[in-house]
Amino acid sequence: MSREQQAVQQARKAFLTGRSKPLDYRIKQLQNLKQFIKEKTTDIANAMRKDLHKTANATQLFEILGLEGEINLAVSKLAEWAAPRPVNKNLLTIADDVYIQPEPLGVVLIIGAWNYPIAVTLQPLVGAIAAGNAAVVKPSEVSSHTAKVLELLPLYLDPEMYQVVTGGVPETQELLRQRFDHIFYTGSSAVGKLVMEAAARHLTPVTLELGGKSPCYVDKNCDIAVACRRITWGKFANCGQTCIAPDYILCEPSIQDRIVEEIQKTLLEFYQTDPKSSPDYCRIINTRHFDRVLALMNECTIALGGESDRSQCYIAPTVLKDVLPHFKIMQEEIFGPLLPIVTVNGLSEAIQFINAREKPLALYVFSSDKTVIKRMLAETSSGGVTVNDVLMHYTVDTLPFGGVGNSGMGRYHGKHTFDQLSHHRACLIKSFAMEGLNDARYPPLTAARLRK
């Protein structure tokens, strides 16, 4: 039996004991998860430094704070989330108990990605534990140092109920051959399709947190300096390797140069004259991605940056102007520190441009004009949207985070994760009283009975 098979079997056996159902068990596991993060903070920070050249502060801001917030929320709200949810009744059930009971699904497979390897792997786990499931966690092998730290999780959690399986594509494929009750995948759309195909063999439901090209429309009627400051932050954080980073800018030709100028000013403020020596500027995860991102620059006009150093997987924050829609850089998610500007003649053309492509994971619009914002929201679709800022919808745990169409399916964060990883059981509890009311539905079905 393979290690992957064994892990799934052990998790299922543990789940079938029923011990993950009581809420105090789940709360204890969530507290243990918090303890893991607390005790391993330095190990996590060191691993992130090695994987992505992230500072401890950035790890704290982008990975740990949100995760701790999710755990605290789940612990404080679990009783409310897990309670039966009464619903409206119809005339025939007026005297009965009618409610929705969230219940655990069983064994959940969580496959994480490498770009925020703690957050995207452990936030789904928070929901899986809260909902009373067993889980098999598969960290991304690409962020190998962080994966090593995640291997220590079973020392803190019930080691039978929560399994960690490390490894690469063959190990993931072996896991995907097993039967799960839910698969929660974060990664590229291409692999998302393989995950869904494998899940279909067992009729396993999936949550797919994927990526895509998230557009950013900058209207000429807006505070361009503030807009560019926010865009620069969201685009170049983690060296552009953020699933909801603004992938490209759409704007009218008249403001293109102003945008470049403002981004340049902000880059100086954030990373000084040499981003390569800035402790706050990350690196591309590996040489494979470095080569891929660098090749996207071919045929583009460099307005800012463009320098690179393969030995360090360093690519400078780069802005590309007058980019044309047929360029390679506009055909795939960039996932790196290149920001193309595509010019359009006004809002209608921007909307058309967005709608001619796959539905993005995020969409950004900067404008001081309410009608522009209203039209952009009404006439496009995306997983999420932030107006006059970037990334920030991700931080609101009451908002469902997820994609639509090619950017994914399902949603999570806060209570949404709990709901995503629960079965919502329809419950109708009747008594033996008032049998007379049922006459209308019993044969012989005469017209007179139906009228009664």
Stretch in the footprint of ligand NAD (CB under 6 A) among 188-196, 352-360, 420-428, 439-447: 188-196
How far apart, in whole angstroms, are the C-alpha atoms of residue 172 and residue 347? 43
Compute CA distances 277 → 48, 271, 283, 285, whole Å: 17, 8, 11, 17
Stretch that binds ligand NAD, among 136-144, 261-269, 304-312, 385-393 (CB under 6 A): 136-144
Which of 78, 142, 250, 284 lies at the binding interface for ligand NAD (CB under 6 A)? 142
> 55 with 279: CB under 8 angstroms?
yes
> Which 8-state DSSP code applies to residue 381?
-
Catalytic residue among 209, 222, 262, 282: 209
Site string (92-131) toward ligand NAD, x via CB under 6 A: -------------------xxxxx----x-----------
The binding track of 306-335 with respect to ligand NAD, each residue x by CB under 6 A or -, is: ---------------------------x-x
Output the CA–CA distances (angstroms, integers) from residue 424 to 199, 245, 383, 404, 421, in the order listed: 20, 33, 23, 22, 10
DSSP class per residue in 315-371 = E--EEEES--TTSGGGTS---SSEEEEEE-SSHHHHHHHHHTSPPPSEEEEE-S-HH
Confirm whether 243 is a catalytic residue: yes
For the bound state, the minimum distance from the C-beta of residue 325 to ligand NAD, rounded and expressed in Å, comes to 20
Interface map 243-262 toward ligand NAD (x if CB under 6 A):
x-------------------
Q: Where are the alpha helices (DSSP H) in 60-168?
A: 65-82, 119-130, 144-150
Strands 107-111 and 134-138 turn out to be: parallel
Site residues for ligand NAD, 21-60, by CB under 6 A, read none
Which of 83, 94, 95, 169 touches ligand NAD (CB under 6 A)? 169
Number of residues that bind ligand NAD (CB under 6 A): 28
Q: Which is nearer to ligand NAD, 105 or 210 (CB)?
A: 210
Query: Which residue type, as a one-letter code, is found at position 19?
Result: R
Tokens standing for residue 247: 């992938």
Shortest distance in whole angstroms from residue 331 CB to ligand NAD: 14
Is 146 near ligand NAD (CB under 6 A)?
A: no
- What are the start-end ranges of the E strands in 2-91? 85-86
Catalytic residue among 222, 228, 239, 243: 243
The binder of ligand NAD chosen from 7, 161, 210, 231 (CB under 6 A): 210
How would you list the strands of the sheet with 215-218, edge to edge? 301-304, 318-321, 338-343, 248-251, 215-218, 362-366, 384-387
Does the footprint of ligand NAD cover residue 168 (CB under 6 A)? yes
- Report the residue number, 104 or 402, with the smaller CB distance to ligand NAD: 402
Do β-strands 97-104 and 215-218 pair in parallel, antiparallel, or remain unpaired? unpaired
Q: Which residue minimizes CB distance to ligand NAD?
A: 211
| Rounded Cα–Cα distance for residues 166 and 151 (Å) | 7
Closer residue to ligand NAD, CB minimum distance, 130 or 245: 245
Q: Name which position in 144, 186, 266, 420 contacts ligand NAD (CB under 6 A).
A: 186
Q: Which two tokens stand for residue 386?
A: 């932030």
Chain positions 399 to 428 lying near ligand NAD, rule: CB under 6 A, are: 403, 408
Please pick, from the candidates 172, 238, 382, 422, the single residue that binds ligand NAD as defined by CB under 6 A: 172
Shortest distance, position 243 Cβ to ligand NAD, whole Å: 3
Type of residue at 108: V
Angstrom distance (rounded) from CA 92 to CA 416: 32
| Residue 358 is among the residues annotated as catalytic for this protein | no
> How far apart are CB 142 and ligand NAD at their closest, in Å?
4
* Residue 244 tokens, joined: 């909801």
3-class secondary-structure state, position 299 = coil
- Residue-level length of the chain: 452
Residue at 259: amino acid letter: I
What is d(CA 281, CA 58) in angstroms, rounded to the nearest whole number? 10
Stretch that binds ligand NAD, among 16-24, 77-85, 92-100, 208-216 (CB under 6 A): 208-216
Nearer to ligand NAD, 7 or 82 (CB): 7
Report the catalytic residues: 209, 243
Footprint on this chain of ligand NAD (rule: CB under 6 A) = 111-115, 120, 138, 140-142, 168-169, 172-173, 186-188, 191, 194, 209-211, 243, 333, 335, 361, 403, 408
